[in-house]
Amino acid sequence: MRKVILDFRPIHTREEVHKYLAMKLDLPDYYGENLDALYDCLTEMSEDTVVGFFEAEDPASSPVSSYLGRVKLVMRDAEEENPHFAVIFGELEENE
């Protein structure tokens, strides 16, 4: 089983979100760097993968907090569709 930790605290733009996701999740070269493409890639995963999704304790302090909320929804939907994909959501304290 593959385990991936996503720490979005240093991420500031939508473009950075997608580049980070592509790198950490080893998404294919054809990944379109948008939410629809993310959903497609997550539902196509065939290797058992657990993702820990972490952001700042105060999400409002992040310039991409509302967009990360949409990313969470995509991941939840993909988790329901793909039995090989699971996601755990959490918060990281600023001093970690």
- State the Cα angle at 72 between 76 and 39, rounded to 5°: 65
pLDDT-based confidence at residue 94 (cuts at 50, 70, 90): low
Residue 59 confidence (pLDDT): 59
Residue 95 has pLDDT above 60, yes or no: no
More reliable by pLDDT, 61 or 32:
32
Residue given tokens 């065939």 in the structure block: 46
Whether the pLDDT of residue 93 is over 70: the answer is: no
| Cβ–Cβ < 8 Å for 83, 50 | no
Which domain does 65 fall in, by range? Answer: 2-92
Q: What is the pLDDT of residues 67-91, one digit of tens each?
A: 999 999 999 999 999 999 999 998 6
Q: How far apart are CA 39 and CA 62, in angstroms?
A: 23
CATH of the domain at 52: 3.30.370.10
| HSE-CB of 93 using CA atoms within 13 angstroms | 2
Q: Which residue in the block uniquely carries the two structure tokens 């939508």?
A: 14
Reading the block at residue 50, the tokens are: 């657990």
| Strand partners for 86 | 50
Whether residue 58 has pLDDT greater than 90:
no
pLDDT(4) > 60: yes
Number of domains comprising the chain: 1
Which pTM value belongs to this model? Answer: 0.88
